[in-house]
Amino acid sequence: MTSAWIGSLLLLAIPAMFFISSWAHERRANWQLTMLVSIIGLIISLASGILAIAGWVEFGHGFSWVTHAPVSLVMLSLISFIAYINVRYSRSYMAGNSEEERRYLRWLSITLGFVTLVVVSNHMLMMVVAWVGISVALHRLLIFYPDRQRAVLAAHKKYIFARIAEVFLLGGVLILYFQHQSWLISDIYANLSQAESLSYADHFAALFLAVAALIKCAQLPLHGWLIQVVEAPTPVSALLHAGIINLGGFLMIVFAPLLILSSAAQWLLLVIGGLTTVLAALVMMTRATIKVRLAWSTMSQMGLMLVECALGLFELALLHLIAHSCYKAYAFLNSGTEVESTMKRRLAQAQVPSRQDWWLAGLMASALVVALIMVFALPAPYSPWVLLAIALTLLIAERRGRLSSASVGSMLALAAVLLAVYTLQKTGIHFIVEPKTTTVGWLGDLWMILLFVLFFAGYLLLRYHREHPWVANSWRAFYAGFYLDEYITRLNLRIYPTRLPMRFKPKHLKIPKEELFK
């Protein structure tokens, strides 16, 4: 047996171990076993990734249904790491009820098994089956508390949207098969990498896959379920936001040669993903609940990731995916202490930046970014650099925060360090995935620059001019999410109704009459 076959079997062993371990939780929750499976998966994926990227072992001639692409191995390592952290946290979180522990760990193991199977799949039908399996298993976790109305309603909407996404995914896969006479993603990738244009059927396949990615990433207006599933246990939210919802971006990276040749699919991602990026980020500013803010943040970040794919910045999308997964896992699992930190920030007095602060910060941030572009002769698109300049402007201008204060020099130095680290990471990840030239050109770049500038203006208005009557009226619309979810929910319940659990009235405090008239 060759090293390629051994590597393929080892990668298939990771989802197999998660599936087998789910049977071990029938009598009692075996937390140690699931953590061990996660550690083994992390070791296998890391070792395979290092060997594949370094070129020390040629995995390409093993079991053809399993991929050893560097992107998949990085994703597999990330999922295994998050799985270990999640299981370790869940052990304390779910302690106290043995029946709930068994049920939770069983469905968590099944979900992780299907997620890892999607990542290692080189066969399109196997990927579709695993994609459906994720939705079915995750549904059981989302309704873990079946007596909560919001959780059941959110899971019901998620169930409908997941089926729609799966239909589009299957449609795109079938079109690709009939066009290229192969079920293997590697064959499709190789054929399209050499193509200069797409057939009409391939254009439809690209559109179908783009729609599936948009729905999977909870983009507007099909976003409401992601906001409401915070009723599920905290580790379920962490797994969803850190590992599962990113699969839409992963799908676009896997089918990159198809996406870069389809202008329609690129513009679909740019328009819907771009609008979601800006609007969700602004809506997040109006929310007070920690988990709800994190959910709106996830929508915005997923939209930005899809925009990066539409602009051909697949290396930036992968870097974004990794950073977002680690951050969201930490943010949700640390949401309890975040409540106290948020209260401290609100009670502390913050100094509002002056007009001079804003001009100074804008000039410094712009100078840093422009100098970097000119020194290294960085090519288009430039909209991500505009977004980075806006982020650095906010960092420098708002240096006198609620709980700390910093000088202009120190914040300028920090901005330079962040810019250097970001550039090095973006450049270094070329070993895994490379950027590609798309067909949207400067128009797509200009569209995103306009959206980022509008986001900056909206941020300033919502944060520093709330007393203005026009901003106050807009605040209510942003807080309500423009009522998009209400319309979608009514449509869902009209087309596919469901029975929600009854809400029991709390017990009323009964005081004897003689005590009331003493």
Mean pLDDT of successive 10-residue segments in the chain (518 residues)? Answer: 74 91 82 91 87 66 79 90 91 83 90 94 94 93 85 88 95 95 92 87 95 94 86 86 90 93 94 95 88 90 94 90 89 73 62 84 88 83 90 83 62 74 72 81 92 94 86 87 89 83 58 50
Single-letter residue type at 483: Y
Q: Is 197 exposed, middle or buried (0-12, 13-18, 19+ CB in 10 A)?
A: exposed
The reported pLDDT for the residue numbered 516 is 46
Q: Is 48 exposed, middle or buried (0-12, 13-18, 19+ CB in 10 A)?
A: buried
Q: How far apart are CA 291 and CA 332, in angstroms?
A: 7
Sole residue written with tokens 């974004």: 320
The reported pLDDT for the residue numbered 64 is 82
Q: How far apart are CA 237 and CA 334, in angstroms?
A: 12
Phi-psi region of 376 (alpha: psi -120 to 50; beta: other; left: phi over 0): alpha
The reported pLDDT for the residue numbered 470 is 87
Decide: 415 and 368 in contact? Cβ < 8 Å.
Answer: yes
Cβ partners under 8 Å of residue 208, min gap 6: 168, 169, 171, 172, 175
| Helix axes of 290-310 and 274-286: crossing angle, nearest 10 degrees | 160
The reported pLDDT for the residue numbered 417 is 76
Smallest CA-to-CA distance from 37 within 51, 23, 19 is with 19
Smallest CA-to-CA distance from 478 within 296, 215, 332 is with 296
What are 51's two structure tokens?
């060997």
Decide: 214 and 248 in contact? Cβ < 8 Å.
Answer: yes
- HSE, side-chain direction, 13 A CA sphere, residue 341: 8
Single-letter residue type at 463: R
List, in sequence order, every residue forming a beta bridge with 405; answer none if it has no partner: 400
The reported pLDDT for the residue numbered 284 is 92
Alpha helices in 94-184 (DSSP H): 98-120, 124-142, 149-180
Smallest CA-to-CA distance from 188 within 117, 259, 118 is with 259
pTM: 0.90
The reported pLDDT for the residue numbered 62 is 64
Decide: 500 and 234 in contact? Cβ < 8 Å.
Answer: no
The reported pLDDT for the residue numbered 518 is 47
Number of H helices, E strands in the chain: 24, 0
Q: How far apart are CA 159 and CA 139, in angstroms?
A: 7
Residue 480: how many CB atoms within 10 A of its CB?
13
